Amino acid sequence: MPMEDRKAKVKRDTNETQIELALNLDGGGLADINSGIGFYDHMLHHVAVHGSLDLELRATGDLHIDAHHCIEDIAICLGRAIDEALAGRAGIRRMGAAYVPMDEALARVVIDLSGRPYAVIKADFTTPIMGAMPSDLVIHALETIAAHGKMNLHAEVLYGRNDHHKAEALFKAFGRALAEAVARDPQRQGIPSTKGTLTE
């Protein structure tokens, strides 16, 4: 019998943001995303398409202040949805890695769904903002996803000139590495850990 899709829905309602996010790790790359921040939508769309996951997102918030709260809170919700959809993390490959070029830029992302959140992100941007997304929040968004997704994430822009290309390569590589890490391993039934758990 076919296995059920691994899905999660997360809501976050604060004085700063109102977010509804639905995730299907076993989707086909469908994206219906509206954060109010066009460049962020573009990056998350890449995660969905290259991660072969379905992502629905509706977010409103205090964009009259700046984009920080919305970007951070969406990343919180995405990380939590990944964690929830994986449940106990049995039968997954657990680790994934991807190199992705975007014209002159090259990014590498390596993920371990270890249950222990840790992030090392190396990316230098020369412009302070891309569209309405501050460049430093590219790094913060990935760090936040890693923290709430309980993953060990190493992401690096190896080289590049254009900041859009560098960010796009990072998010595409994140999607591809995530797809590999969450993939079901036909040779494994239980938890892929000598500890017997990946939840803490």
Distance, in Å, from the CA atom of 45 to the CA atom of 53, rounded to the nearest integer, reads 10
What spatial distance separates the first Cα and last Cα of the chain, rounded to whole Å? 31
Contact 92, 35 (CB under 8 A): no
70 within domain boundaries: yes
Q: What CA–CA distance (Å, rounded) separates 66 from 101? A: 30
170 vs 185: which has the higher pLDDT? 170
Structural domain count, the chain: 1
**Residue 197 within any structural domain of the chain:** no
Q: Express each pLDDT in 59-81 by its tens digit.
A: 999 999 999 999 999 999 999 99
Task: Give the model's pLDDT for residue 187.
Answer: 76
Q: Flag whether pLDDT at 98 surpasses 60.
A: yes
State how far the alpha carbon of 27 is from the alpha carbons of 40, 114, 133, 168, in Å.
21, 23, 27, 21
Residue 80 has a CB neighbour count (10 Å cut-off) of: 20
Q: Is 200 part of any domain?
A: no
5-37 pLDDT, tens per residue?
Answer: 999 999 999 999 999 999 999 999 999 999 999
Inside any domain, residue 21: yes
Mean pLDDT (the chain) is 94
pLDDT over 70 (residue 2):
no
Residue 1 pLDDT level (bands cut at 50, 70, 90): very low
Residue 194 placed within a domain? no
Beta bridge partners of 33: 57
The answer to whether position 116 is within a domain reads: yes
pLDDT value of residue 162: 98
DSSP state of 191: -
The pLDDT score that the predictor gives to residue 75 is 98
Alpha helices in 38-162 (DSSP H): 38-50, 68-86, 136-149
Check pLDDT > 90 for residue 190. Answer: no
CB atoms within 10 A of CB 199: 13
* Domain containing residue 58: CATH number: 3.30.230.40
Whether 193 is covered by a domain: the verdict is: no
Whether 2 maps to a domain, the answer reads no
Q: Look up the domain containing 139 and give its range.
A: 7-182
Cα(83)–Cα(173) distance, rounded to whole angstroms? Answer: 19
